[in-house]
Chain A
Amino acid sequence: MMSKLSALRGNIGWDKGVGILLLVTLIVGSLITPDFATTSNLGFVVQDIGEIMIIALPMAFLIIAGEIDLSVGSALSLVSSTIGYSFAHGISFGFAILIGICVGAATGALNGFLVNYLGLQSLAVTIGTMGLFRGLCFVLLGNTPVNQLPDFWTGLGVNNIPHTFLPWSFVLIAPLVFFAWILLHHTKIGRWTFVTGISAEAARFSGIPVKRFKFLMYVATGVMVSLAAIVYTLRFASASPDSAMGYELTTIAAVLFGGVSIAGGFGTMWGVIFSVIELGAIRSVLQLINFSSNALQMVSGALLLFSVAFPKVIELLKSRREARVKKPSPSLASMRSVE
């Protein structure tokens, strides 16, 4: 069984495995409940995973490049709060959205500056900015959400594209997904990302401006987060300081479950995209069979643990088998254990 699984993994790759799992989920889901495979539910799933998908794209780049961003959920909330605050203070909604995008870019620039130019650990920095951005949301809005948003805009968040079952956010998400795939796998930027993740030093010596590159990657993350914030704000027709709680976990879980290595340097965009859709599908099935909403949190947590633990277990089993086959001399064996 184990050998089959690892052979499977060796031959077709983790990302395609996620694709197959997605297919299985779709089939099982439509067998379990008749409401699953309907066009309206499909539209709902697209809407449900929209923001996660948008943030997962730059997060995949960041993690492949060996960094991480835990502040995305708070940054999303900050952009949303900024839009709400600006609008509530008499700025037109379109302009408020522009301000929001600028704030989003600024959050990314702050992270990028601290990580790349001060040389701080991205984990520690983004834990700090996670608190900072969330705090700023409350400074802006206090405890009161802004609910009176213009109908034209919230209509975009709630309604479908006329004559289809797809929500308007699809118009934004589909090109972004396509663009991210091209960028990661078919351009110089993508290759730089992988090289930086495998060895930042080697990347620097081969002429990649690593610091500036990663800085811009963080800024791009900020911009993408603000796009997600717009979708989020319109969808819920509200800008509230406690938006998008836990989105950083769901996003990172999705990216890692999609086969991106937390150590950096490995991963595919397809894996990430399949994984986000898979997450949405599982959530939808669970909701339709009236599983509690708390289960969703647990599913994200469990998926995250599973996606880091499973490859490791296989690796351990493999190396153990190899060790048994080779029967290394005792001195070698002791050296191994030291490693």
Chain B
Amino acid sequence: MKRLLSIREVPIFGVLVLFFGVAALGNHALFSASGLHDLLFTSSIICLLACAETLIIVMKHIDLSISSTIGFSSYIIGKNASNGHGLLYCLILGVIFGLAVGAVNGFLVAYLKLPSLVVTLGTLYLVRGLFNQVARGDFINSDKVPHLLTYMADHTFVKVPYLFLVALAMAIVVGFVMRHLRSGRDLYAIGSNLPAAHLAGIAVEKRTFWAFTAAGGIAGLGGAILLARFGQAQANSGLGIELSVVSACVVGGVAIAGGIGTIYGAMIGALLLQTIVMALGALGVSQFWQGVVNGALLIAAISLDKILSSRSQRTQIMRVSA
């Protein structure tokens, strides 16, 4: 039992269940198959992007550019599909675009040693500007979205929406890499102690570069999910989504100070945020409070993390001195 509680994800999961329960008491419609379906369906994009962001935050970096990447990628996929290209071709284009943005971020952060915040803030606006320039007033509407994507958005597999399954599959793959493969473990080492990681012979630059590139690639793939989820793409697709993603990760126990956290935690964080939003809706609170709740929860999560980590450090010191 004690061991179970010491896993970082368990308390968050508890909070998630609690919130869902409270919200369901307020509105019974929530506590049904369709309520669960809505929850998984609407949070699938944040869950997928949380996989990308976790890779980065664990290294004590941050990637704000994913929102522009996913938006532009969804437009690229939609545009090429409406020009009559096959879905696979469009998907590959979207992913390549994401990888390219990620590689630029990775190069600047890993090899030029620039602060990731500034770099990705720059690419966030650079890509968004480029996107607006290319898309102008163009609008990809739902009948131009590839059929497979619409099918995936409308159907479920054993009551689980396909879009969420994609996010889940990604989480399992990335989660496996981060837990069991050396390249993944290295990311934790880089995030928890950079000089030590260097001295231990970890190829810090290479790992950092590839992590950013992978994050970009996941965001590129996310473009397809975004397109399927909303059935449309336009110049403001994905705008401001980076805030929700970072919130989800931090709420889910991925420490912003680096070195701690898992994909699954981040996904639970994403579900928790979405549950709160739905609960507010179910309890009749105006949707305008959503941004406030997201921001406040992010601040609460980092404050709590700080307090808890300083306390556990203190107990460790006490144990050592005893």
Interface residues in chain A, defined as those with a beta carbon under 8 Å from any beta carbon in chain B: 68, 114, 118-121, 123-125, 127-136, 138-139, 142, 246, 249, 252-253, 256, 262-263, 292, 294-298, 300-302, 304-305, 308-309, 312-313, 316, 338-339
Residues of B contacting A: mostly: helix
A302 CA to B246 CA, complexed, in Å: 24
Q: CA–CA, A256 to B114, complex, Å?
A: 12
List of A residues within 8 angstroms of B123 by Cβ: 301, 305
Give the size range of B's interface with the partner: 35 or more
Q: Which residues of B contact A121 (CB under 8 A)?
A: 256-257, 302
Given contacts A118-B306, A294-B132, A297-B128, contact A125 B122 (CB under 8 A): no
Q: Main SS of the interface on chain A?
A: helix
Task: Report the bound CA distance from A136 to B295 in whole Å.
Answer: 10
Q: Which residues of B contact A114 (CB under 8 A)?
A: 299, 303
Select the stretch in B38-46, B70-78, B285-293 that faces chain A: B285-293
- The interface residues of chain A lying within 8 Å CB-to-CB of B289 are 135, 139
Tell me if A124 and B122 are in contact (CB < 8 A): no
- Chain A residues with CB under 8 Å of B295's CB are 128-135
A136: which B residues are within 8 A, CB to CB?
291-292
Does B32 make an interface contact (CB < 8 A)?
no
Q: Which residue of B112, B257, B299 is within 8 Å of A128 (Cβ)?
A: B299
Shortest Cβ gap from A278 to chain B (Å): 17
What residues of chain A lie closer than 8 Å to B119, measured between beta carbons?
305, 308
Q: Do B108 and A309 touch (CB < 8 A)?
A: yes
Task: Kindly list 10 other residue pairs between chains A and B, CB separation below 8 angstroms, not including A305-B108, A308-B122, A312-B114.
Answer: A128-B299, A138-B291, A142-B286, A253-B122, A297-B132, A300-B125, A301-B129, A304-B122, A305-B118, A305-B119
| Contact between A138 and B302, CB atoms less than 8 A apart | no
User: How would residues 190 to 233 of chain B score, 1 for a CB under 8 Å from any chain A CB and 0 otherwise?
Assistant: 00000000110000000000000000000000000000000000
B132, A127: Cβ atoms under 8 Å? no
Given A135-B289, A262-B115, A304-B121 contact (CB < 8 Å): yes
Does B319 sit at the interface, judged by CB under 8 A? no
How far apart are the CA atoms of A291 and B88 in the complex, in Å?
A: 36
From B307, which residue of chain A is reached at the shortest CB distance? A118
B253 to A: closest C-beta gap in Å: 14
Given A295-B129, A298-B130, A304-B118, decide whether A135 and B112 contact each other with a Cβ distance below 8 A.
no
Return chain B residues, CB-CB under 8 Å to A142: 286, 288
25 contacts between A and B (CB under 8 A): A119-B306, A121-B256, A123-B256, A125-B299, A128-B247, A128-B298, A128-B302, A129-B299, A132-B296, A135-B288, A135-B289, A295-B133, A296-B129, A297-B126, A297-B128, A298-B125, A298-B130, A300-B125, A301-B122, A301-B124, A301-B125, A305-B118, A308-B114, A308-B118, A309-B114
